[in-house]
Amino acid sequence: MYGPQGWWPLITKKNSVLQCLYHPKSFEIPNTQPQQYEICIGAILTQNTAWRNVIQALINLNQINALNHKTAQKIQIEMLKEAIRPAGYFNQKAKKIQAFNDFYSQMDNRIPSRDQLLSVWGIGPETADSILLYAYKQVSFVVDTYTRRIFTNLGLIHEKMKYDEIKQIFEKNLNADIEIYQEYHALIVQHAKQYYQKKDTYASDPLIERLNLRHHRV
DNA sequence: AACCAGGACGTGA
DNA sequence: TCACGTCATGGT
């Protein structure tokens, strides 16, 4: 229904203007360290925040050379706060970014484990999985509130399941394929934006008929 | 004008 | 463990 999604979106210069663009069917991205780092920062900034609010924050960060880890490390926290203000929670998120910066330089270009990411202040399960899946191309399924909402509505999981329980259900039933994992989560978000913004639209999810299911009240 | 976004952390029971 | 409060901007 939705076609290739091309997650994770990246800040790009187009016609000398900065935009945030998706890259459908280009699974080699990210292919530079700044792109990899940008995805990590975006994953932190989008915590409980609409992506459209994150875009301006990323553009501001790019302006002060804070989307390149080498130069980002030196930026004062007050400067950081000002840049990311449009993304909300700027006091917390500035600290989270600095905590991640320390971790990132400590990792010295190696691929972090999930537990290592979770040990960083400000990185919880969803952010860790997003970083693994989209920045490091590790086959790790991302579970977000949309995933929980859709699949609860379809009656395929229980509302109060823990994060890792839901994650395991997907990982047991999917081929360990990076492209499938990346696109599946992106499609869940896209689908949720269509049918799961307001509760009165849950019952009209076309997947209910398509999969011959009955929707469950959330 | 409430409500909610691609969550995580701190606290008290 | 678990439920709940807190963090903050911006669009609908």
What pLDDT digit, counting tens, does each position of A37-73 carry? 999 999 999 999 999 999 999 999 999 999 999 999 9
- Which pLDDT value is given to residue A57? 98
| Domain C-terminal end among A100, A123, A138 | A138
Do residues A2 and A101 share a domain? yes
Q: Flag whether pLDDT at A100 surpasses 90.
A: yes
Residues in chain A: 218
Quick one: A11 and A110 in the same domain? Answer: yes
Q: Do A112 and A174 fall into the same domain?
A: no
**Residue A216: is its pLDDT beyond 70?**
yes
Identify the bridge partners of residue A17 per DSSP, sorted by sequence position. A14
pLDDT value for A88: 98
Rounded average pLDDT over A198-208: 93
What average pLDDT does the structure give for chain A?
Answer: 96
By C-alpha to C1' distance, C9 is nearest to A88
Domain extent for A48: 1-138
Given this model, what pLDDT does residue A106 score?
98
Give CB contacts under 8 A, 24+ apart, made by A57-61.
Answer: A57/A83, A57/A84, A57/A85, A57/A86, A57/A87, A58/A11, A58/A20, A59/A11, A59/A18, A59/A20, A60/A84, A60/A86
Domain check: are A57 and A91 in the same one? yes
Angle, nearest 10°, between helix axes A145-153 and A163-173?
Answer: 70
Q: Distance (Å, rounded) from C-alpha A91 to C-alpha A147?
A: 28
Q: Are residue A109 and residue A199 in the same domain, yes or no? A: no
Over residues A165-190, mean pLDDT: 98
Residues A109 and A205 in one domain: no
Write the pLDDT tens digit of every residue in A105-141: 999 999 999 999 999 999 999 999 999 999 999 999 9
Lowest mean pLDDT among A12-16, A62-66, A138-142, A204-208: A12-16
pLDDT score recorded for residue A125:
98
| Number of CB atoms found within 10 A of residue A191's CB | 17
Whole-angstrom distance, CA of residue A19 vs CA of residue A68: 17
**Rounded average pLDDT over A76-83:** 98
On chain C, which bases lie within 7 A of the protein's CB atoms? 2-3, 7-11
- Burial label, A29 (beta-carbon count in 10 A; 0-12, 13-18, 19+): middle
- Which pLDDT does position A218 carry in this prediction? 57
Protein-strand B interface by C-beta, 7 A: A 7-9, 42-43, 46-53, 88-89, 92, 120-128, 130, 134, 144-146, 189, 192-193, 196-197
The separation, in Å, between residue A31 CA and nucleotide C5 C1' comes to 41
Smallest CA–C1' separation from A145, nucleotide: B6
Look at residue A103 in the predicted model and tell me its pLDDT: 98
A32-39: average pLDDT: 98
Distance (Å, whole) CA A122 – CA A118: 8
What number is the average pLDDT over the span A14-26?
93
Phi-psi region of A109 (alpha: psi -120 to 50; beta: other; left: phi over 0): left
Taking the C-alpha atoms of residue A202 and residue A208, their distance in angstroms, rounded to an integer, is 10
Q: Of all protein residues, which has its CA closest to the C1' atom of C6?
A: A89
Model pLDDT, residue A134: 98
Which CATH number characterizes residue A61's domain?
1.10.340.30
